[in-house]
Amino acid sequence: MEYTQSRQIWVMTQEYELVHDPIHECIIPALSGRWEEEKKLFGHTHRIEQATLKDGSVLFGIAYELLSHRCVTIRRDFFHGILGILKTDLEESALSQDFNQAMQQVAVSCLKKGDFSPLLMIPATAQEELDERDLRSTGYMDICSWGIGEERSPAKFPNIELSSGSPVIQVECIGTVKSIWRLLPEELSHERNLTVLLRLVLEITGPKPEDFQTAVAVRLLGQEIEKVRERMLKENRTEKLIQLLRRLEDTSRGGELEHGVASEIGETLGLTDLSLGGGHHRVVESPIGFMFSHGGTMHLSETGVMVVVNCMHCHQPFPIRAGLLKPASSLIGVKAYRIPGLRYRFTHQGGAGFLLQDGKMVGRFIWGIPTCSCPRIEQVKVNLDDLPLPKPNTYNYGTDDGREWIPMDIEKRLKVNVWTGGQTHAS
Ligand SMILES: [Zn+2]
């Protein structure tokens, strides 16, 4: 059902009949019929309610996002609201009067139920304080807090322990950050910049087509690995990619920059193909186009980078796309962890994870699928004392000064300055 403002909505049934009074002729009879069916199935109305509550668990990240769009004006109301949406056993009266501690209590109760979304929230200190005018339209500091959708598959190791109030979780260490490269979506649509990126990836992965296509199409641009493999098997694309990579390699060795090679590689991988819509995201956009919209937002816009991570066992390097919350130069050497099994709407299976520095999340990624097969499950403690907090919306409604409202860009919502002095990479 879609929201619409027309006063002259008519409904057409599957049998192509127009209905003049849809509420009484269609919706109420359909609801009543369904209700009777459910009653027969469950035997009692109370059992239907219980089943609804049980199945309706909502993620911490989603509940936060829902509430923050609704401009709750009294700060404490946020906690009544979030506990109601989360359907947790935790009561508001049991929460600390300190907002930060109360938020941690809520987050920990979610983590105990296997909801790992608090670990991927954008910390409060990384976000700009909003003024009254911004709060008027956006409510809490919300836009860059979640955005990666509902859970599709749970974490493989859902059990957590607590150490001094902080969760200790089982995650997979991908390796340590070796270098970080600037990676703006708009740069990918220019031949010269795409050439620079593809050469870089080629240097990291080598010319093996499977490794190269996984790095570019799956880890950096979010396409589904099965679909990429399927595509490459058709129309001799793998052979074509091998030849194109040879040409790219030649130019990397000091040869002349051959115009068009990068675009051809992009086309072969489907990076500009509108039907591929950023893989599983089901949107009519090309994988590169998706990075201009929600794909870019999820990677925190201007702070989106390519991080090269080295496995600590086999020393193989892997590029992954990540959104950073600290200057790039301060993150060389930090460890990257992925959460096995976990999948959200916009992430790959097991592709979501974070960079951790001194127990704090300092960057997150969503397409960092398994790399080499070295064993490396670790127990890590993640500090949750910097979760985004509700801000009261103090905008004085009814006294509009007539100034034009300008939506705030996501990069202005983040305090992070990843690059300094024209720098484009850190290693
Ligand atoms: Zn390895």
pLDDT for 5 equals 46
Query: Rounded to the nearest whole angstrom, what is the distance from the C-alpha of residue 87 to the centroid of ligand 1?
Result: 41
pLDDT for 100 equals 93
Query: Rounded to the nearest whole angstrom, what is the distance from the C-alpha of residue 315 to the centroid of ligand 1?
Result: 6
**For residue 342, which of 85, 169, 137 has the smallest C-alpha distance?**
169
**Alpha-carbon distance 203 to 288, whole Å?**
21
In Å, how far from its chain's centre is CA 141?
17
**Alpha-carbon distance 274 to 55, whole Å?**
36
Query: Rounded to the nearest whole angstrom, what is the distance from the C-alpha of residue 320 to the centroid of ligand 1?
Result: 15
Query: Rounded to the nearest whole angstrom, what is the distance from the C-alpha of residue 310 to the centroid of ligand 1?
Result: 8
pLDDT for 366 equals 96
Query: Rounded to the nearest whole angstrom, what is the distance from the C-alpha of residue 231 to the centroid of ligand 1?
Result: 27
Tokens of residue 43, six digits: 């035997």
Tens of pLDDT along the chain (427 residues) come to 334 445 566 777 777 788 878 778 888 888 888 888 888 888 877 777 666 655 557 899 999 888 876 666 677 888 988 998 887 888 899 999 999 999 999 999 999 999 999 999 999 888 887 776 666 655 554 556 788 988 999 999 999 999 998 999 999 999 999 999 988 777 777 888 888 899 999 999 999 999 999 999 999 999 999 999 999 999 999 999 999 999 998 876 666 667 789 999 999 999 888 777 654 555 678 888 888 888 888 898 878 899 999 999 999 999 999 999 999 999 999 999 999 999 999 999 999 999 999 999 999 999 999 888 897 899 999 999 999 887 766 666 556 666 665 666 777 778 888 888 777 889 8
State the pTM of this model: 0.82
Residue 236 has what DSSP assignment? G
Whether the Cβ atoms of residue 286 and residue 276 lie closer than 8 Å to each other:
yes
Task: Kindly list the protein residues that place their beta carbon closer than 5 angstroms to ligand 1, a single-atom ion.
Answer: 311, 313-314, 372, 374
